Amino acid sequence: MKIYSNIGIKLFSLKLFFYSGFLFLFLLNPDCAGAGAYLNSAHGSSAYGAKRSASGFPADYPKGLCAHCHEQHASVDNSEPGPSGGSPSAYELFYDNHISQTDGICYECHKDSGSFQTGGSIINRSYSYRAGGWTSDLVNDILEAFSFSSPDSSHNLDDIRTFITGKWGYTGNSNPCAACHNPHSLQGDPPNAANSVKNDATRGWVVSRPSLHSTDNNAWGLWGDIAGERMSVYNYQAPYRYSTTTNYEPDGSTTTQDGSNLTDFATFCSDCHNNTNTINSTALARNLNKFSWSTEQHGGGAASAGCPDILNPYQVAQCGTYVLSCTDCHESHGSPNLMLIRKEVNGAEVTVDVETGFGPFGRENTEWMSLCVRCHDGLDTTDGNHTHPFFIPPQVSGCSSFQCHEAGDIYRVCTECHSHGNQDIDGTPFGEPLL
């Protein structure tokens, strides 16, 4: 029996040696990580991919090497840094996958200072900057974008993790950033040009649908990288870039405006934000409104009434058929505005940061008009008492109509009537006269 035991121990040791060696080679050879998808990704690129720089970490590891994020023994030479909590992290990452809204593996590199990436920083700009061409935006890294808190806004990572756990193959150890991004496939857009706006010569594709999530990185592909996954599957009109009437989002084209160069974010975001999923919002202290983009009036619903006052580049003749992209109004990570509203929409800046403030026409509680006027004209139509859509009936100052006003002549906050999931205003369909 002792002979068999010794043989068993030797076989086990041999297997351990074999698998350890295989894992070691895997981590040192990025070609093992599914080849094309990873090697073409922002992390796996041999030209500008991940490359950790830290005390004690081998300086000769080439860019894109798996070992820059994963460590088979929880550490390399017991440094660079040691595993937080003193034990190996999930997925053999060199730092915890997710700790809080502003702490986790992604932020160890995606920040503008103190980054482990060679050079000490990774710059990632907002959508308003990259697609909208609003280069005045000071937000320049992912950590900063996710640091916005009330009354500003950011996608809440704890809420995301709670929502995806147990769904589509995600577990409690999953990184909430991986709800939208496949770290082994995502590309820069534009790639390796942190302070540049998107352009049609150097495009990349950033997201992967959570509902298609798979631990097989080759199976969990990018969303938007083929024609059938772009906004051109709808009747889409690209908005203008900042301060221009000739260049369209997302890449500044002067001719392409049908969404054939834009990921189908309507489908992508609807994986989570739809009329069936219940999603808690810590920031709002309630569940998010449920809605179907196929029936929303900015989505597949027929927004026809009131359309004669729509602004360029949208065309009156096509009102009732347009489907907007979520990114036409919302940032994906964070914003100094409420509800992730972009700071630049359809060519100009937008400020919606307290909701109850004065709008562009000087009326209290009408701050949201700052967003609406980017596409809807006529909101400044006045009968002497009102600056709101012209079909609100004329009243005198001091009107107490609860349908339009709070006490006195103060408008109700816009979002009491206008919100995703609300198809009418006090029983009256959007776009129709209230009285």
pTM, 2 dp: 0.87
Mean pLDDT score of the chain: 84
Distance CA 312, CA 114 (A): 44
Greater confidence (151 vs 79) lies with 151
pLDDT at residue number 426: 62
pLDDT at 293 over 70: yes
* pLDDT band at 297; cut points 50, 70, 90: confident
Q: Look at residue 405 in the predicted model and tell me its pLDDT.
A: 65
Query: In the Cβ-directed half-sphere of 83, how many Cα atoms lie within 13 Å?
Result: 17
Categorize the per-residue pLDDT at 428 as very low, low, confident or very high, splitting at 50, 70 and 90: low
What is the per-residue pLDDT for 111?
97
Does the structure show a pLDDT above 70 at 173? yes
* 62-95 residue pLDDT tens: 999 999 999 877 666 665 556 656 666 778 888 8
| Tens digits of residue pLDDT in 32-65 | 445 578 999 999 999 999 999 988 888 999 999 9
Query: What are residue 398's phi and psi, to 5 degrees?
Result: 95, 0
Tell me which long-range contacts 378-382 makes (C-beta under 8 A, separation of at least 24).
378/306, 378/309, 379/309
Q: What is the pLDDT of residue 81?
A: 58
Are 105 and 115 in contact by the 8 Å Cβ rule? The answer is no
pLDDT for 228-245, tens place per residue?
999 999 999 999 999 999
Decide: 321 and 235 in contact? Cβ < 8 Å: yes
For residue 344, give the 3-state DSSP assignment.
strand
CA dist 311 and 330 (Å) reads 19
pLDDT, one tens digit per residue, over 202-211 is 899 999 999 9
Interval 164-189 mean pLDDT: 96
The span from the first CA to the last CA of the chain, in angstroms, equals: 94
**pLDDT of the residue at 74:** 65
Cβ-Cβ contacts under 8 Å for 326 (sequence gap 6 or more)? 265, 266, 268, 269
